[in-house]
Structure 1
Amino acid sequence: MTFADPNAHAPATPQSAREIGDAWGKMVARRRLYTGLGLVILLAAFVASVRFADESNAGHFFDRLPHLFDFLSWLIPKDWNDVWRALFDIASPMQKTGEEYNFAEGRVPVWGGFYIPEYFELMIITINVALVSTIIGFIFAVPLSFLVARNLAPSNPLRIVAKRLTEFLRAFPEIVIAGLFSAILSIGPVAAIIAVSLHTIGALGKLFYEVVENIDMKPDEGMKAVGASWSERVRFAALPQVMPNFVSYALLRLEVNVRASTIIGAVGGGGIGEELKLSISRGFGAKTVALVLLLFITIVAVDQFSAWLRRRLVGEHAFLLQH
């Protein structure tokens, strides 16, 4: 009676550490070769595309490259004190020399001699556009996220339709949507609010439903056991778990919307973006620097405030690495 050798069909293994090292070295060398070839191909494609773009450009990019900083030199104020005058609408000693120095004419009177500087009012408009858009986006994204989430969607066809809707809303940049509504509703903050709100619904909808899909389903099972409706399950089992993260994402989106509102302002959406575009195009150095300074300070302040508020709502542990 014979017995089959259990190792007869076993795969051959390296007989020594040297063979293992040689195999590993060959694999590493092959990877490095493929990586090098990929980088060479990528570099060749980049050079070819740059040459094609340069030949297609009437100004020839490389020929104009030495003049790259000429434009910035035009925007350097002749008197740096004019930056503060432009920021706070204080009359300039050179106000009679041209429109570039008509700082005091932009004042927004409030009561008596008290006024709001023009750029501060424009910044408030920009922040309001971002804030209203974030609130609208939050209100619509919350119910939409529960329709999209696999674990809570009332029906699969409805889930697919709702998911396609969120994808469609975030498929187009805010500036494209704003251009469309500006043509329909004329230029102004209303078109900007609609554009940013629609994109925010799509963006927050995706973030929200991913949070919903990771909740603990035990409370939902308990609600099902007592005969709760779908809306009651969402309200009492799911919403308390996800609301802190929802608010955190909404605050994060507010930071993004402040920047988006500024960009949209440059295409007729109102606010500080429109004035910044005009100032740059006319070469008004002091006004441009004042606008950039105000915009930078505002964005930093919004970022810091929203980060602080998110930490208070979600907890410090959510911002630390978990081991």
Structure 2
Amino acid sequence: MTSATLHSDATRQQADAWQRQTSLRRLYTVLGVGLLLAAMVASMWFADEANAGHFFERLPHILDFLSWLVPKDWNDVWRALFDIASPSDKGTQEFNFPLGRVYIWGDFYIPEYFELMLTTVNVALVSTFIGFVFAVPFSFIAARNLTPHPALRLVVKRFMELLRAFPEIVIAGLFAAIVSTGPIAAIIAIGLHSIGALGKLFYEINENIDMRPEEGLRAVGANWFERVRFADLPQVLPNFMSYTLLRIEINVRASTIIGAVGGGGIGEELKLSISRGFGAKTLALVLLLFVTIFLIDQFSAWLRRKLVGEQAFLMGAG
């Protein structure tokens, strides 16, 4: 049998194997889509039964809430945002914009929604700081190549898994029963979840560092803390800061959600505004939240590029 025949047979076998694999993937895709559609139909049927048969009847009206979201006077959105009196104010809560002013000195005030947004951002910053402070040492203990003891590594990893196993809103509900509702419960909840989430990201970074500096310090008798401080931490700190900045973005959104269930900040006011049908106030809150998150995203992205380097982002894009 010639080499050309052998090469042809090998090529045919590879083509057949690729075709079988492609057909199998298509089958799995069809099965997956079919199961998803079946689950959707079953959930809609259950919702219809749970709502006494009114689910499908009311389905065409699912976007009716947009009718009250559109204000009669679009200038009321800006008035609500900056606590300026509205001509529509007849003593009702819907247009009592100046009543929310937070006076600082004399006639100088901070608009209510800006003050609430600062509370939300502060919750995110404090929570992220707590997460960073605890996640850094935990990450070095949990890293397979750096841990001081395998048993200690196992305990720390399981502990961080427990912290990130529950959503922040569940943890906030638990601590709200202990310390009452407000920013403190939100800080505890988001901070604990951040420890687990950042700890996992950090120890995965640690497990891929260059071990030569570590081995050099070990050879001259440095202890574990000295090796971590002078050999390991300088290698990973820029990436640690990059992930921490990313976590701030996530925590701003999380603190908004928790605020809607009693965690304080802008989320609580947004929930009340939506439930009462205050269109101008709702749009003002949504606009402020969008602009704040956009600015935080842009600033943290710029700062991450400065810490990690532009080349890392170019390699990731490629």
Settle same-fold status: TM greater than 0.5: yes
Q: Does 1:167 pair with 2:197? A: no
Rounded to whole Å, the distance in 2 between the matches of 1:30 and 1:132 is: 49
Q: 2:252 aligns with which of 252, 255, 258?
A: 258
1:205-216 matches, within 5 Å, as 205-216=199-210
**What corresponds to 2:93 in structure 1?**
99
Change over 3 Å in CA distance of 1:28–1:298 after alignment to 2: closer
SS in 2 for 1:110: strand
Aligned amino acid, residue 205 of structure 2: V
- Percentage identity across aligned positions? 72
The residue type paired with residue 170 of structure 1 is: R
Partner Cα separation in structure 2 for residue 300 and residue 215 of structure 1: 33
Q: Which residue of 2 aligns with 1:312?
A: 306
1:45 deviation in Å? 4.2
Q: Residue by residue, what CA displacement relative to the aligned partner does 1:39-91 show, whole Å, maximum 9, x if unpaired?
A: 44543344234323332334633221111111121121111100000000001
Q: Deviations over 1:199-250 (max 9, x none)?
A: 0000000000000000000000001100000000000000000000000000
Is 1:70 the equivalent of 2:64?
A: yes
Cα distance in 1 for partners of 2:138, 2:240 equals 13
Q: Could you say if the C-alpha distance between residues 137 and 21 of structure 1 is closer, same or farther in structure 2, counting changes exceeding 3 Å?
A: closer
The question of 1:200 aligning with 2:194 is answered yes
Query: CA 1:157/1:189 → structure 2, altered by over 3 Å: closer, same or farther?
Result: same
| 3-state DSSP of counterpart to 2:103 | strand
Structure 1 residues 13 and 37, CA, compared in 2 at 3 Å: closer, same or farther?
farther
1:3 corresponding residue in structure 2: none
The one-letter amino acid of 1:192's match is A
2:145 aligned to which of 147, 151, 155: 151
Does the 8 A contact of 1:187 with 1:268 survive in 2? yes
Give the letter for the 1:139 counterpart: V
Q: Runs of 5+ in structure 1 lacking a partner?
A: 1-6
* Residues in 1 aligned to 2:16 and 2:213: alpha-carbon distance in whole angstroms: 56
Cα distance, 1:119 vs structure 2: 0.3
Give the gaps of 5 or more residues in structure 2.
Answer: none
The correspondence of residues 1-323 of structure 1 with structure 2, limited to 5 A, is: 28-29=22-23, 32-33=26-27, 35-58=29-52, 60-321=54-315
- TM-score normalised over the length of structure 1: 0.90
Q: Partners in 2 of 1:54 and 1:62 — Cα distance?
A: 6
CA RMSD of aligned residues (A): 2.3
Alpha-carbon spacing, 1:39–1:194, altered in 2? closer, same or farther (3 Å): closer
Per the alignment, residue 4 of structure 1 pairs with none
Bigger-Rg structure (1/2): 1
Structure 1 residues 72 and 218 mapped into 2: Cα distance closer, same or farther (>3 Å)?
same
